[in-house]
Structure 1
């Protein structure tokens, strides 16, 4: 996963070292050497994440962080403070200023790369939710939402998985400064039972469980619909950063190293709860906005009107960030024959199932819309032609290789789709132009025999 990283440090060797490490991991690196320059670069370059030194002359990292968080146009960019300061009070000060994490020099590469990737994934998801809400607001449906900073963290319901009575008491006692709703479990089985039956705004998982695998529990929590969106805070020993990094890859949101500092624990918990509540508010506002004017009543996906409003905004963001956007346009092969043979009721069943299979085989921030009749569109941010083509082929196989269960006497029918792929050509590329290229590619796929994918500007591949 590529991302634009801003490295801010007043010491040139530090900047060069970090930039070299990040470049080797295929990140796009930009640099700044003081606070004012960093704020200027943020405005011009729109980084995906900021690695910010604390000890800088003039404007230190705490002030830079506070200014970033105070500006509505930059406040959602993840910030990792990197400094020689190792005192817990400094980490708490950084977290309270709005930092997402606080890494101590010399920086552990495993922790650094895992944290960057985790925060960039979170930013991509939040960016898409804000953009969708903004698109919906264009129709005059939504009120302005609050920000993460303004959300309260009080009275959160927290699940703690810890089998050390001493650590559990310390965690629970600390959390009770903000809430009385702390639920404890000492095994993965108990934790999963609680997670399936109750809603939690934060789950704290110890990686030092004696007879349990905390990482496997993280994976299980992320695989269940009810716990998938709950933030996870890991508790680990200082020498266990490799497992922490794996936990972040599995979907954990943050971590705290033992010995537990009460103030740092509370600061990290508050950050995660505020972010969770902000995300839920975005999701609620967004779902409230999905009226019949914006969605297809048959399939539940977006309709053409929503795409017409959303796509130009997404393209503007693509030009600013210099990241690709891909469009998949597909329709159901011989759909008229389905209606003529089995009736329009069966045709509706096929449309709904095609929409369901499409949603199941995309990222949660990709957009699916019914463009009209049996024609659908998928909008894929941050996806180049090769990635989009691979997704299109996977989707084509998921639709065509598994029969559709229908209410007609025949019981099951086979359905295939043809797909056209197009990507943004560059700054100024319009929604009309990219849709036209996708439509032309779809037409070529249909003309070439159907049940195939054709990418705009690429020779067609055989059906496989």
Structure 2
């Protein structure tokens, strides 16, 4: 890629801003002959519109203009966070040190004095464009790194098969939600859900069919959950949903919707069709004997145990469950 060619494959665009038509015509002709695509503006307001419509790769900006002067235009462009980095070369008849400092402080990246030497002008344009393209490459690499970090973070907290939160992350979320419940006084509930006789599916149809069932069950749970709920795969064929702001009765209603959806669903893996059921246990805080995330989880797990051993395909609340026996 040359300096006359932008990263998108098109020509490098240079915006020339000057209220004197002869100056614009001279710069347009000189830069166009070097392969640049030149866009022009005759005042500061028009320059800002040009930048808004299609940001150029570099701006040659006259300082002394009616209305908005070059310093004001440069400052507005540099203060606009929506714009990419655009090098600005101020073109000025003033060459006092104070004028140069003012121009650079307004956001300009370089300056050249009138009457300018075309070789010097072109050299400054090339230098600024090299900086521009290096900055663009850096910005691209930073965006790629940010996306890679986001993907890595997602992988670290997600179960690869079901795309739900994994066991470790669910544990952390449960502690966070329990602490939030203590602070705010709002309830929090947990629903534990376990596919019934899942081992028979793997033994009869094989693990690929079992994986289809796990994935589709996870999809059912996600579709049943609210946006603020946090469903996860707790392990094997067991799932969990953390339900913020939810009391036990509402948690049981959620689990019942999941139970009904699973019972009604036909799981298909090629020609294989399977029907499944799920057992659920729910518990909420505040609740009898619940004073920690661990005790909340244990209460829901014990309710699930009773649902499994009391006939399966049902929802049991911790408050209705029989005391656990040793």
TM-score after normalising by structure 1: 0.37
Distance 1:428 1:448, change over 3 A: closer
SS at match of 1:289: helix
Please tell me whether the aligned partners of residues 194 and 239 of structure 2 are also in contact (alpha carbons under 8 angstroms).
Answer: yes
Please tell me whether the aligned partners of residues 437 and 456 of structure 1 are also in contact (alpha carbons under 8 angstroms).
Answer: yes
Query: 1:77-114 CA distances to partner (integer Å, 9 max, x unpaired)?
Result: xxxxxxxxxxxxxxxxxxxxxxxxxxxxxxxxxxxxxx
- In the other structure, the counterpart of 2:307 is 445
- In the other structure, the counterpart of 2:188 is 325
Pairing partner for 1:340 from 187, 192, 203: 203
Q: CA deviation at 1:287?
A: 5.7
Please tell me whether the aligned partners of residues 196 and 277 of structure 2 are also in contact (alpha carbons under 8 angstroms).
Answer: yes
- In the other structure, the counterpart of 1:422 is 283
- In the other structure, the counterpart of 1:364 is 227
Please tell me whether the aligned partners of residues 281 and 316 of structure 2 are also in contact (alpha carbons under 8 angstroms).
Answer: yes
C-alpha distance in 1, partners of 2:317/2:52?
54
C-alpha distance in 2, partners of 1:283/1:397?
38
Query: 1:347-380 CA distances to partner (integer Å, 9 max, x unpaired)?
Result: 0110000001110111112111111110110001
| Ranges of 4+ aligned residues in structure 1 off by more than 4 Å | 178-181, 282-288
Please tell me whether the aligned partners of residues 399 and 416 of structure 1 are also in contact (alpha carbons under 8 angstroms).
Answer: yes
SS at match of 2:291: coil
TM-score after normalising by structure 2: 0.52
Please tell me whether the aligned partners of residues 279 and 312 of structure 2 are also in contact (alpha carbons under 8 angstroms).
Answer: yes
Alignment gaps of 5+ in structure 1:
1-175, 182-281
C-alpha distance in 2, partners of 1:442/1:283?
39
Structure 1 position 289 matched with structure 2 position 150: no
Query: 1:45-104 CA distances to partner (integer Å, 9 max, x unpaired)?
Result: xxxxxxxxxxxxxxxxxxxxxxxxxxxxxxxxxxxxxxxxxxxxxxxxxxxxxxxxxxxx
- In the other structure, the counterpart of 2:269 is 406
Q: CA deviation at 1:425?
A: 2.3
Alignment gaps of 5+ in structure 2:
1-48, 55-145
Pairs within 5 Å for 1:113-152? none
C-alpha distance in 2, partners of 1:284/1:366?
26
> How large is the RMSD of aligned CA atoms in angstroms?
2.9
What is the aligned residue count? 183
